[in-house]
Amino acid sequence: MPAWTKSLVGLLALAGGAVSCAHHGDTEVVPEHEREELLKKWDQEWSFSGIASFAHLKPVKCLIEPSENYDIAVIGAPFDTAVSYRPGARFGPRAIRAASARQMSGTSFNTRAGINPYKSWAKITDCGDIPITPFDNGLAERQMYEAFLELGSRKVVNKAPKGGDSIGTGHPKLVTLGGDHSVALPALRALHQIYQKPITVLHFDAHLDTWNPVRYSAYWQSEQTQFNHGSFFHKASREGLICNSTSAHAGLRTRLTGVDAGDYTNPGPEQGFIRIHADDIDDLGPMGVVETIIQRTGLDPEQPVYLSVDIDVLDPSTAPGTGTPEPGGWTTREFIRILRGLEKLNLVGADIVEVSPAYDNKGETTALAAAQVAFEIITSMVKSGVKEDLGGWYGNLYEDASVGETESADVSRDEL
Ligand SMILES: *[C@@H]1O[C@H](CO)[C@@H](O)[C@H](O)[C@H]1NC(C)=O
């Protein structure tokens, strides 16, 4: 009798059971060989099929599964009630997950890095979304903090082969899909709690986000007006969460308040960031931007780094679907190259925020860029834990293979 006929018989038996209100037998155990057959037959997804998790990773509501462990957690933070202009980033996690559909584990070898992050040492889980209230930002802050703290305090599954010397080794790494940028504040609070020291923040954004909240209104102030997507780093700095001597802004091109560059010095260099402007890439090139950043952040294995990516660091032509767009930014390619140059940073957490799909286009340009940014960041997190030297840009794996020399490229591939 073929397997499906047996299942049908089983179903009929169940239906019979339902009539007599019996419950036993409704969780029939599938024999091992049938399970194998089923997996061979149906355990496949196409890029366009399946329920949308990030990169088709196994979706788990980790917050209600306390025994679920992982090495890297992707977390949605659908929150956007702290924005100053266009809302809609609460739909960011959904859009980024949908745009990650072509990141199948079997087809995600990152040629720029020389590694497939989904087929390496790390267990990566899509932990679902934090159910954040849209009605009370004070409560939302608390929900996010508690969620990040819980998810970041779980046990790792596979200790990174390399990295016994890094402060992050015993803790899972968190990758947040925002959400407006204020989600970075509860994330930093949680990381500060986990690592018990100020965190180095590498911040890619058109804007400073260190603004004193009085910039929005000096008269109408409350505790809650301090929590907004332009002032959360100000608050984080005041709370001592940010390491003042190693942090950097990159991609800046925002207009400032008033008639001079006072926003840069007021409320003070104590904000602790150096500033790399969007235009600097013309003089420095992407790798010069990388060098400037690394000079500032250092590569100290004892110093945790949080990477915060506001998608508006990209030019609106490559990322229109965002809350506060600023023309004159970097292209997706330039930014990816910068990110690849930073793969040795000691990342313990990251976010990709401010994707607002209502302003995106039919090609989902912004969400695609965000999904790619997440891919590059996850690649770096995994690659930093790999023991063998996979090389840098384009992995140097194919160093014999320059363009056009396909023969030697084949040879290097075979040697893998
Ligand atoms: C950074 O500077 C600010 C302002 O002076 C201060 O409040 C904060 O505690 C400093 N952070 C650290 C980690 O020292």
Residue 416 is predicted with a pLDDT of 33
Query: Which candidate, 301, 297, 366, places its Cα nearest to that of 338?
Result: 297
Structure tokens at 245: 């001597």
Q: Is 312 annotated as a binding residue?
A: yes
Ligand 1 center to 368 CA (angstroms): 36
Ligand 1 proximity of 198 Cβ (cutoff 6 Å): yes
Q: Which residues of the chain have pLDDT under 70?
A: 1-27, 163-164, 266-270, 392-416
CA pair distance 192, 190, nearest whole angstrom: 5
d(CA 93, CA 156): 24
Determine if ligand 1 sits within 6 Å of the CB of residue 240.
Answer: yes
Residues across the chain: 416
Question: What is the DSSP track for 244-271?
Answer: TTTEEEEEE----STTSSHHHHSS-GGG
- CB–CB of 388/416 below 8 Å? no
Q: 116-152 pLDDT, tens per residue?
A: 999 999 999 999 999 999 999 999 999 999 999 999 9
Ligand 1 binding pocket mutation candidate from 197, 238, 247, 273 (most atoms within 8 A of CB) = 238
Distance CA 154, CA 67 (A): 8
Residue 327 · residue 316 · CB < 8 Å: yes
233 C-alpha to center of ligand 1: Å? 11
CA of residue 145 to ligand 1 center, whole Å: 21
Kindly list the structural domains of the chain, giving each domain's residue range(s) and its CATH number in brackets, ordered by start: 60-383 (3.40.800.10)
What is the reported pLDDT for 169? 87
Question: What's the sign of the alpha-carbon dihedral 123, 124, 130, 131?
Answer: negative
* Per-residue pLDDT reduced to its tens digit, 272-325: 899 999 999 999 999 999 999 999 999 999 999 999 999 999 999 999 999 999
Sequence-distant contacts of 259-265: CB under 8 A, at least 24 apart? 263/208, 263/211, 263/215, 264/208
* Segments in 65-111 forming alpha helices (H): 92-99
Which pTM does this prediction carry? 0.89
Q: Which residue type does 15 have?
A: A
Q: Is position 205 annotated in a ligand binding site?
A: yes
Listed in sequence order, the DSSP H helices in 202-347 are: 232-238, 262-265, 280-297, 332-341
